Amino acid sequence: MRIIDANLNRLREGIRVVEDILRYGFQHQSFALDLKTLRHQCSLECYLELLNTRDSENDVLKPSTKEEQNRENLQSVFIANFKRAQESARVLEEILKLDSIQESEKFKGIRYRLYDLEKQVLLEIFK
C-alpha cells in the first residue's frame, strides 16, 4: 500500500507541475484543462487506508540527488515532471495488477494519455 500511496502522490504532483506551467506560464487553457481532468482521475477509493501506510519521515531515498536539484530551463522542468508522472503511472499499473485489473487498466490509460499530451505540448509550445 505504501508503494501505491507514494506513486499516487508522485503522479498527481508531476501532473500538477506541468498543468501549472501550461496554465500560468503559457496561459494555455485546453492543455491545462486536459491535465487537470487527468489529475482528478488519479485516485483510488482506499485513500484513508493508503494514508495510514504513509511514512515520509523514514523514506530511505528522501534526500534529492544532484540531478533532481538541477533544472536548466522551464522545458527541463516540464519534461522531468512529465516523466515523473509517466513512471508513477507505470508503477501503479503494475502493482494494481495484483488486486484489480480494472484499476491497473485505468492507470495504463492515464500513462498513455500522458505520453500523447507530452508529445502534443512539446511540439506545439516548446518547438
Is the pLDDT at 60 greater than 90, yes or no?
Answer: no
- What's the pLDDT band for 63 if we cut at 50, 70, 90? low
Return the H-helix or E-strand segment holding 35: helix 29-40
Residue 43: predicted pLDDT: 87
**Grid coordinates standing for 3?**
508503494
Residues in contact with 19: Cβ distance below 8 Å, sequence separation at least 6, in sequence order: 32, 35, 36, 39
Query: What are the pLDDT digits (tens) for 15-46?
Result: 999 999 999 999 999 999 999 999 999 988 76
CA nearest to 92, candidates 5, 13, 34:
5
Q: Do the beta carbons of residue 23 and residue 58 sit within 8 Å?
A: no
In terms of Cα–Cα distance, which of 107, 82, 116, 81 is closest to 4?
Answer: 107
Separation of alpha carbons 77 and 79, rounded Å? 6
Asked if 115 and 107 count as a contact pair (C-beta separation under 8 A), the reply is no
Instruction: Identify the sign of the CA torsion 11, 21, 112, 42.
Output: positive
On average, the pLDDT of the chain sits at 89
